[in-house]
Each structure stands twice: as structure tokens, then as C-alpha cells.
Homo-oligomer: A and B are copies of this chain.
Amino acid sequence: MVLEVALFDVRPGAEQAFAQAYAQARPLLAQSEGCRSVRMTQGVETPTRFVLLVEWDSLDAHELFRASPRFGEWRALVAPHFATPPLVEHYQDL
């Protein structure tokens, strides 16, 4: 299992629109093969900052999603609200 930690900074004022786009886009991610769980959170100190936590069976499972047509649909929904390119890294439990 690998944990994807993705940091999204959205444009000020776009928080609600991003949340709505995410609600629409979520199934594209959550229903992907090898996706175990999806959790989107919004910053308390920095409300324009969102952290997405996704548990994947493996790095390959995430790569297969990224190479799928569904990833393009996901990005088309959420990316218009980004202020900067997302920061995405993978982690493993200690």
C-alpha cells in the first residue's frame, strides 16, 4: 500500500468552486482500480490549501490512473482552480 499526499493551492475565492468540482470528479478517482480510499481536506489556517490523501494498492495503480482517460477528465474538472501546480508525493507507513 502507498499513500498519495497531494497538495493543492487554489486561487483565492475559488475554494467553493474547487470543492464542487472535486465532488463531481471524485468518482473518477475513487472508482479506479487499485484505489483503496480517498480523503480531501481543506486547510484551517490556509483555506485555499487542500490536501488530498489517496491510498493505492501500489505506485503502479496510481500510474495506471494517471495514464487513463479518466485522469484527463479529473484534471479538466479540478485544475482550472489551481493557483500553482499541485505537489504530489507518495508515502509509506512507518
Contacts and interface: CB of A to CB of B under 8 A. Distances in A.
A70 interface: no
Contacts of A51: 3, 5, 91
Interface string A54-94: 00000100000000000000000000000000000111111
Which interface class (under 10, 10 to 19, 20 to 34, 35 or more) fits A? 20 to 34
Interface in A11-66: 19, 22-23, 39-46, 49-51, 53, 59
Contact of A91 (B2, B43, B92): B43
A52 to B, nearest CB: 9
Interface of A: 2-3, 5, 19, 22-23, 39-46, 49-51, 53, 59, 89-94
